[in-house]
């Protein structure tokens, strides 16, 4: 790409001729969009510097190794995911224990659902703040703070005797710790990979599945032979050791790509693609968390033991560990958005076809395995899709906004799941109580599928416009720095929704 751009910018006269030729075009149709986008980019960029020169400089700076030490970074983020989201998936085990044994007298199912929501989302609400702190203190110090917070939160939760103490420790403090680890590290892998980006993220994301297996079965066993308090303490020790190793391995290339660490990026908030991204995140997290937190208790409602419930919950993690790298590779081959339109549609179908009529252990087990393989694809493609929309330089700022949205949806979704579950006046528990939660999950993933379908059309149309402006054959619309400046006419985006293939993988 740089050779083509060098030809365009070989002399100041050729740059001026190109800009002048754009000005002479009409203002309707594709040419009108081209002129509007050229004017928008000139308005946002420094005065007195040719647009093509600025884009050439950005393209030369953003050099992605696509491997090398990046594979050690993959291992580091695998360990982070193991000890954060993998460990957090064990909350389904704690939730079932709290509900069935009335651990904190007077606490309701809504209380325990709210604590799970705070664990998942309270820290993510501060995504812009954490992104800004990362820019000030650096990656390692910020993540180190999160590791300490996670350890302290779990240890204090193990000594909690009152409900409000559990809210503050296993809820708020743990949530902030998890977010302070996760938000800075998820922006690192796209700096190391481009063509194998989704594969690398898929391998690292499988760490949460591996963690879910280990913590799901391990913590359930400790609860049975000792107590839930000792399970929390064991979890704290394992997490700080794994995260410490990961912290020693991780490296960032923020200086090389001139990454921006802003509290809020107005250019991101005004972008239609970012708005559709936000809608996709909301639908996906609402379905994901309700499904993740309810499978264990659903299995118990079928008449099985808590241990069997933990096995079903663990199957979600087994599916995630095995299939997420495969999903990542498919995303590299066919496009992250395209693949996930199909993935979310499959989750919708299996939820309606298997979860609702499930009345035995085998069906619940197979459904958990299939759903676990597919429902967490958001963690594989979230960074990839965000980078596709915003570019590498603004990826961190855009991701921090995305994390805030994930946090809001993550806080309310466990409460929604608990409230949707019908309570019998006799106090008996049966699987029909989970009809409404299962319907909610199915329709949430269908909403996520539709959101990605719209985003796909918008990205195809934007790539075509960017290609027309830059007149490049190789990497138009891919980390060039011009992504957020493009205005896409709605009708053109709607027509592109039906295209089977775009200029670039979408």
Question: pLDDT tens digits for 265-287?
Answer: 777 888 899 999 999 999 999 99
Q: Is the pLDDT of residue 19 over 50?
A: no
Contact yes or no for 113/167 (Cβ under 8 A): no
Contact yes or no for 4/472 (Cβ under 8 A): yes
Please give the pLDDT value at position 112.
87
Q: pLDDT digit string (tens) for 107-126?
A: 888 888 889 889 888 888 88
Q: CA 142, CA 129: separation in Å to the nearest integer?
A: 11
Please give the pLDDT value at position 253.
84
Residue with more model confidence, 22 or 382:
382
Average pLDDT over residues 238-253: 94
Please give the pLDDT value at position 422.
67
Q: Is the pLDDT of residue 495 over 70?
A: yes
SS3 for 409-468 is HHHHHHHHHHHHCCCCCCCCCCHHHHHHHHHHHHHHHHHHHHHHHHHHHHHHHHHHHHHH
pLDDT grade, residue 480 (50/70/90)? Answer: low
Contact yes or no for 403/127 (Cβ under 8 A): yes
Comparing 304-313, 365-374, 469-478, which segment has the lowest mean pLDDT? 469-478
Q: Is the pLDDT of residue 11 over 80?
A: no
Give the position of tokens 């909610």: 440
pLDDT grade, residue 482 (50/70/90)? Answer: low
User: 481, 381, 401: which is closest to 132 by C-alpha?
Assistant: 401
What CATH number belongs to 70-457? 1.20.1250.20
Q: Is the pLDDT of residue 456 over 70?
A: yes
Q: CA 152, CA 155: separation in Å to the nearest integer?
A: 5
User: 89, 227, 225: which is closest to 160 by C-alpha?
Assistant: 227
Average pLDDT over residues 93-97: 83
Q: Is the pLDDT of residue 25 over 60?
A: no
What are the φ/ψ torsions at residue 127 (nearest 5 degrees)?
-50, -50
Please give the pLDDT value at position 6.
40
pTM given for the model: 0.76
Select the highest-mean-pLDDT range: 245-249, 258-262, 470-474: 245-249
Please give the pLDDT value at position 81.
94
Average pLDDT over residues 390-394: 78
For residue 183, the Cα-to-chain-centroid distance in whole angstroms is: 10
Alpha-carbon separation of residue 465 from 33, 176, 362, 476 (angstroms) = 7, 41, 51, 9
Please give the pLDDT value at position 110.
85
Q: pLDDT digit string (tens) for 404-453?
A: 899 899 888 888 888 888 665 445 567 788 899 999 999 999 999 999 99
Average pLDDT over residues 383-399: 82
User: Residue 46 gets which letter from DSSP?
Assistant: P
Please give the pLDDT value at position 46.
41
């Amino acid at each position: 790409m740089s050779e083509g751009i060098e030809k365009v910018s070989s002399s100041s006269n050729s740059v001026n001729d190109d800009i002048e030729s754009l000005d002479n075009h009409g203002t309707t149709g594709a040419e009108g969009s081209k002129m509007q986008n050229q004017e928008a980019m000139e308005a946002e960029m420094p005065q007195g510097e040719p647009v093509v020169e600025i884009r050439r400089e950005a393209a030369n700076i953003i050099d992605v190794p696509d491997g090398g030490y990046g594979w050690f970074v993959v291992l580091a983020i695998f360990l982070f995911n193991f000890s954060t989201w993998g460990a957090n998936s064990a909350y389904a085990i704690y939730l079932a224990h709290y509900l069935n044994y009335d651990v904190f007298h007077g606490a309701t199912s809504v209380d325990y659902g709210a604590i799970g929501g705070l664990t998942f989302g309270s820290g993510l609400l501060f995504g812009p703040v954490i992104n800004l702190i990362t820019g000030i203190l650096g990656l390692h110090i910020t993540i180190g703070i999160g590791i300490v917070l996670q350890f302290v939160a779990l240890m204090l939760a193990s000594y909690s005797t009152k409900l409000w103490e559990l809210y503050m420790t296993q809820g708020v403090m743990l949530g902030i710790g998890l977010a302070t680890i996760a938000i800075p590290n998820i922006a690192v892998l796209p700096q190391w990979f481009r063509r194998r980006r989704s594969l690398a993220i898929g391998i690292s994301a499988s760490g949460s599945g591996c963690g879910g297996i280990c913590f799901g079965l391990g913590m359930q066993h400790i609860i049975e032979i000792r107590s839930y308090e000792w399970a929390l303490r064991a979890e704290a020790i394992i997490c700080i050791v794994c995260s410490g190793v990961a912290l020693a391995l991780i490296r960032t290339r923020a200086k090389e790509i001139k990454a921006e660490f802003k509290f809020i990026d107005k250019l991101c908030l005004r972008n239609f693609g970012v708005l559709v991204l936000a809608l996709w995140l909301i639908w996906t997290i609402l379905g994901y968390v309700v499904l993740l937190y309810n499978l264990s208790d659903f299995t118990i409602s079928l008449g099985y033991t808590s241990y069997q419930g933990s096995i079903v919950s663990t199957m979600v993690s087994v599916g995630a560990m095995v299939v997420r790298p495969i999903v990542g590779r498919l995303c590299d081959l066919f496009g992250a958005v395209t693949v996930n339109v199909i993935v979310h549609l499959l989750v919708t179908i299996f939820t309606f076809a298997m979860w609702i009529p499930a009345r035995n252990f085998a069906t619940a087990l197979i459904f958990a395995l299939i759903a676990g393989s597919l429902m967490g694809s958001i963690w594989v493609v979230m960074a990839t899709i965000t980078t596709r929309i915003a570019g590498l330089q603004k990826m961190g700022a855009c991701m921090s906004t995305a994390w805030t949205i994930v946090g809001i949806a993550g806080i309310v979704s466990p409460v929604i799941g608990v409230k949707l579950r019908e309570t019998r006046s006799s106090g008996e528990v049966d699987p029909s109580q989970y009809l409404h939660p299962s319907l909610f999950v199915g329709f949430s993933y269908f909403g996520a599928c539709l959101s990605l379908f719209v985003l796909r059309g918008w990205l195809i149309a934007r790539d075509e416009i960017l290609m027309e402006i830059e007149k490049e054959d190789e990497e138009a619309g891919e980390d060039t720095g011009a992504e957020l400046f493009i205005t896409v006419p709605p009708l053109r985006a709607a027509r592109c929704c039906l295209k089977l293939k775009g200029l670039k993988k979408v």
